[in-house]
Amino acid sequence: MAKIKTYPHIDYKKCTACRECITFCPFDCLDLVVRGKDSYGNTYPGLTEKGKKECTSCGICAGKCPIGVIEMKEELPGA
Amino acid sequence: MKGVMGKILKVNLTAREWSEEQIDEGIYDQFLGGIGLATYILHRDIQKGADPLGPENVLGFVPGALTGTGSFVTGRFLVTGKSPLTGGWGDSNCGGNFSPGIKQAGYDGIFFYGTSSEPVYLFIDNKGPQILDASEYWGTTDAVDTEQQLIEKHTLRKKPVCVTIGEAAEKLSLISGIVNDKGRIAARSGLGAVMGSKKLKAVVLAGSKKIPVAKPDKMKEISTEYANKVRVMNLPGFVKGSTFPLVGKALGLNMRTPMNGIAMVGIFKKYGTIFANLSGLNGDLPVKNWALSTKHFKKKAKKTNPDLQLKKETNKYHCSSCNIGCGGEADISNIGDGAFKTTHKPEYETVASFGSLLLSNDLDGIYYINEICNRAGLDTISAGNTMAYAYECYEKGIITKEDTGGLELKWGQVDTAIEVLKQMIRREGFGALLADGVKAATRKIPGSEDCAMHAGGQEPGMHDPRFESGMGLHMSVDPTPGKHTVGAETYYMSTAVWNYCSWAPKQKLESKSHEQEATHEGAWKNVAMSAMKQLVDCSGGCLFAMLTGFNNWRLFDWLNAATGMEKSGDQLMEIGLRVQTMRQMFNIREGIDPWKNKMADRVIGRPPLPDGPTKGNSFDLEGQMQLYWEKIGWDRETGVPTRETLEKLNILQYTEA
């Protein structure tokens, strides 16, 4: 049976921009690309254009998130 | 033990060979990881009397036991080795993004032995380590550009992380450091020169090994609690840059009180360290090579208002695993000759080193200098102190235009400092006299000793012991002297360490007048301060997170959950004491007299300042050092750890020559 393709969805109300998901993604699918989520000027992690194509649904990012605010879902984030 | 990778990499640059060493569980149990592991390896592998810039020195890069395990603010690494600046134990703590890369490469430390005949760099991916030719970067490419080029070269599926050295370290400047993530520097102890002496231009890591964690659910529970606390701590709208002198005054009141350190988070999230540009007017900010009080910089300081730095900020910056994010990035393409596009937001230390210390408030100039230092890999603290030393020598006529090649070193002028700085990096002209810091400069400029501020050879961080005596004590008593990050009373009162360690005195609401004197309780606090800081450095933790308090940033609980150990607070603090004593024993073995690490007289108020908020302040440094030594178990007359202490800490076998 073919594996169902899933993508990381980040809860930006809780994400701390700590970069752990970026650090541990084995394929560089995530980067600091999301702005405007707070008044400090932080950039937050998200799938890059490359990541949208190359994410392998491994879920390592979700597992490494220190507070578990990444959920793997079938649709592309922002879609 | 979980949390760690169980082995280190040893790279022999002379033979261009590498090998792995499995580390016994017992070593982790005693030393944990990070700086602790490094004290074990370096004691064993650096021979007594080794030339710090010779092949016999060993340069180590160590992440913390908590790095990459799901805890917050524990993604720092330490560079360790025998310091060419002090001649003793050298370490330098650094943020950025490099630390987890060491563990992902499969190691709890990478240690370099020998010296390469040609420039090389180390590359590690999942296939293993390779020692590769770096001659195209050596002498041609600065630290930031080298990092970028090597990352591009080695990006296949995953972008690597990288540390590099710049021109200052290639030319063996004793105040040079090691750079990662475009300008986060392991700057102290002169370890850049050690890397330069080994002809090692860079370390590039692209591994993706899994880091084992004993209790991942517990890690998440603790991390979520901390994240929730940090998330809601925001500064009220009325707190602006201009209110920080008032904050400074509050900190300067004659009072100590236990503080909930989480209150600091709002300041760090918005401003980072630069709030101290103005809070430091309470007497903490050194002025004119430590010769004047802050009263003489009050008007000028307005141009270093941290709000002006926020205006330059284009982006916040978080080091690896940090949920606070005190750093920033700035656009500097319109500054100076426009040579640089961006820089990391200069920290308070840099703003002070090239600001008040030179009687300058030229913020643009400081941003430009910051980037010059980042790219050359130069310690801004040591470089700023050295510049101030030179300015004072010029003012006093110890050096003249004939010595400076026609440059006029006038207080307040940063343009001249930029020119001298470039010469220092290139080791050319007048700058060559200053390239190795103040102590080395005094040997070349006779009669200048009174202008040279240092402890044991290392220039002091930008926090004035006349404002806070504990800062002067720790700068003098730590085996790596001169550092502002190793201890202070202000630090202590927000850590809540007394909730975890039975012998750490509880901070009471009390006057701080007695801090000028040596007291038993004060000494115990200072010993606890050292132990907890070393424990943090074993873990890969950050000083600023420590200041948010162990009851919030639950390091002790994270350590047990990540590693699977079940150690009490006292047992974990004993690791800190063990590491501190190992560091001191390294110095003793190298023939360093601990009394010689005392901070320069001027910096500790001898003579006292005649005016300003710290008017008349001096303190009993010698008495405080002796009581610290007594309480930590080092001989109170000599500072040498006693045999009884070495036995008690179970490190006699590692420290016997």
Question: Could you give the count of Cα atoms lying within 13 Å of B12 in the half-sphere of its Cβ?
Answer: 8
What is B141-179 written as a DSSP string? S-HHHHHHHHHHHH-SSS--EEEE--HHHHTT-TTB-EE
Q: What is the 3-state secondary structure (H, E, C) of B425-442?
A: HHCCCCHHHHCCCHHHHH
CB B180 within 8 Å of CB B163: yes
Element (H, E) at B206: strand B200-206
Last residue of a domain, one of B172, B188, B206: B206
Give the three-class secondary structure for B570: helix
B244 inside domain:
no
Can you tell me the distance from the alpha carbon of B605 to that of B603, in angstroms, rounded to the nearest whole number?
Answer: 6
CATH number for the domain that contains residue B387: 1.10.569.10
CB B227 within 8 A of CB B190: no
CATH of the domain at B114: 3.60.9.10
Question: What domain count does chain B have?
Answer: 3
Structure letter (DSSP) for residue B557:
H
Token pair in block for residue A42: 């932080």
Final residue of a structural domain among B417, B451, B485: B451
pLDDT at A2: 67
Omega within 30 of 0 (cis) for the link into B607:
yes
Is residue B22 a part of any domain in this protein? yes
Same domain for B369 and B284, yes or no, is yes
Check whether residue B512 and residue B443 sit in a common domain: no
Q: In one letter, which amino acid is B182?
A: K
The answer to whether B100 contacts A24, with C-beta atoms less than 8 Å apart, is yes
Q: Is the ipTM of this complex over 0.85?
A: yes
**Shared-domain flag, residues B15 and B159:** yes
Among B388, B419, B451, the domain-final residue is B451
Q: Does a structural domain hold residue B226?
A: no
Judgement on whether residues B437 and B478 belong to the same structural domain of the protein: no
Pinpoint the alpha helices (H) of B329-379: 348-353, 363-376
B485 and B421 together in one domain: no
Instruction: List the single residue in A with minimal CA-CA distance to B71.
Output: A66
Confidence of residue A78 (pLDDT cuts 50, 70, 90): confident
Mapping DSSP to helix (H, G, I), strand (E, B) and coil, where does residue B382 land? Answer: helix
Q: What is the pLDDT of residue A3?
A: 77
Distances (CA, A) of B624 to A35, B76, B520, B593, B612: 50, 31, 9, 17, 25
Burial of residue B364 (CB within 10 Å: 0-12, 13-18, 19+) is middle
Question: CA-based diameter of chain A, in Å?
Answer: 46
Angle at CA B176, nearest 5°, toward A22 and B359?
A: 100
Calpha distance A26→B209 (Å, rounded): 9
Same domain flag for B48 and B140: yes
Q: Are B651 and B579 a contacting pair, CB within 8 Å? A: no
**In B244-362, alpha helices (H):** 244-251, 265-270, 276-279, 298-301, 306-312, 348-353
What is the per-residue pLDDT for B514? 82
Using CB atoms, which residue from A18, A19, A26 is nearest to B208? Answer: A26
Read off the DSSP letter of residue B194: H
Domain-wise residue ranges, chain A: 16-71
**How far is it, in rounded angstroms, from Cα B123 to Cα B316?**
29
Residue B657, pLDDT score = 60
Please give the average per-residue pLDDT across A61-75, as a whole number.
Answer: 97
- Separation CA A66–CA B76 (nearest Å): 16
List chain B residues with CB under 8 Å of A64: 70
Task: Identify which of A28, A42, A67 has the shortest CB distance to residue B325.
Answer: A42
Contact check, Cβ <8 Å, A24/B68: yes
| B224 and A CB contact within 8 Å | yes
Residues B178 and B316 in one domain: no
8 A C-beta contact, residue B232 and residue B47: no
Which SS3 state, helix, strand or coil, does residue B9 take?
A: strand
pLDDT at A79 (0 to 100):
55
Residues 6+ apart with CB under 8 A from B384: B350, B352, B353, B354, B357, B358, B459, B462
Backbone φ and ψ for B116, nearest 5 degrees, come out as -80, 150
B223 and A17: CB-CB below 8 Å? no
Q: What is the 3-state secondary structure (H, E, C) of B226-260?
A: HHHHHHHCCCCCCCCHHHHHHHHHHHCCCCECCCC
Q: B177 to chain A nearest CA, in Å? A: 24
Map tokens 């988070």 to a residue. B265
Length of chain B equals 657
CA B517 to chain CA centroid, Å, is 27
Beta-carbon separation of B318 and A41 below 8 A:
no
Residue to mutate among B159, B221, B232, B235, with most A CBs inside 10 A, is B159
**Same domain (yes/no): B365, B302:** yes
Per the CB < 8 A criterion, the answer to whether B639 and B595 are in contact is: yes
Residues B154 and B25 in one domain: yes
Same domain (yes/no): B491, B439: no
Pair of tokens at residue B58: 């060993």
Q: Which residues of chain B have pLDDT under 50?
A: none
Mean pLDDT of A5-21: 97
* Beta-carbon separation of A27 and B157 below 8 A: yes
A17 touches chain B (CB under 8 A): yes
Query: Whole-angstrom Cα distance, residue B308 to residue B358?
Result: 20
Residue (of B535, B526, B461, B420) closest to B273 by Cα position: B461
**Contact in structure between A23 and B74 (CB atoms under 8 Å):** no
The structure tokens listed for B639 are 């500072």
Average pLDDT value for chain A:
94
**pLDDT value at position A1?**
61
Structure token digits, residue B260: 């909930």
User: What residues of chain B lie within 8 A of the CB of A67, using their CB?
Assistant: 220, 223-224, 227
Domain encompassing residue B295:
263-451
For B24, B88, B636, B653, B655, the CA distances from B44, given in Å and listed in that order, are 15, 15, 27, 10, 8
Q: Which residue of B has its CA nearest to A66?
A: B70
CB atoms within 10 A of CB B403: 18
Q: Do residues B81 and B108 both lie within one domain?
A: yes
What is the DSSP code string of B465-497?
Answer: TTT-HHHHHHHHHSSSTT-SSS--HHHHHTT-G
Residue keyed to tokens 């017992």: B26
Q: What share of chain B is helix, strand, coil (3-state, %, to 5)?
A: 45, 15, 40
Decide if A43 and B320 are in contact by the 8 Å CB cutoff. Answer: no
B242 assigned to some structural domain: no
- Give the SS3 label for residue A53: helix
Measured over the CA atoms of residue A11, residue A13, residue A15 and residue A17, the dihedral's sign is positive
pTM: 0.98
Mutate to test the interface with A, among B161, B208, B314 (most CBs of A within 10 A): B208
Mutate to test the interface with A, among B74, B217, B322 (most CBs of A within 10 A): B322
The CB density around residue B540, as the number of other CB atoms within 10 Å, is 32
Does B269 contact A at CB distance below 8 Å?
A: yes
B437 and B482, same domain (yes or no): no
> Best residue in A67, A69, A70 to probe B by mutation, most B CBs within 10 Å?
A67
Is the pLDDT at A36 greater than 90? The verdict is no
Q: Residue B557: inside a domain, yes or no?
A: yes
Q: Tell me phi and psi for residue B130, to 5 degrees.
A: -135, 140
Query: b/e per residue, B108-123, with b = 16+ CB within 10 A?
Result: bbbbbbbbbeebbbbb
